[in-house]
Amino acid sequence: MVENIEISINKKELAKEKLLRLRELRFDYISEIPQERLTTKDKDYQIYKCRNHWFIGIRNEVWNLIDKSVITDQKIIEDFEKFHEILKTNKSNRYTTEEDIKRGDQFLDQVISYLEQY
């Protein structure tokens, strides 16, 4: 019984921690796609959503939540698999589109909403 309570508390702490990170990815990153390709010398380079880094950040954070059974909702898990598949197949050989960013934002909204209920 004590072990179950500890696991529940740890999941809540993890959900709270990841919620902060996912909100950051959703709201603190720049959605605009620059006219020219970004380089490390560009201002705010690290916080553009058009970088693969943003998509990989979403994938890693959500994967951790699924792996630790914080996210158990089957719809979110299925949507994660679709998001991950898009990342693997479409993003590897082309530039990010506004639609890619929109999908990432929508998926983040879905996960954030779920975690807010946790």
Average pLDDT on 66-79 reads 97
| In contact, 87 and 56? CB cutoff 8 Å | yes
Per-residue pLDDT tens over the stretch 10-69: 999 999 999 999 999 999 999 999 999 999 999 999 999 999 899 999 999 999 999 999
Distance CA 55, CA 41 (A): 21
Distance CA 95, CA 93 (A): 7
Its sign, for the CA torsion 82, 87, 93, 98, is positive
pLDDT surpasses 90 at 5: no
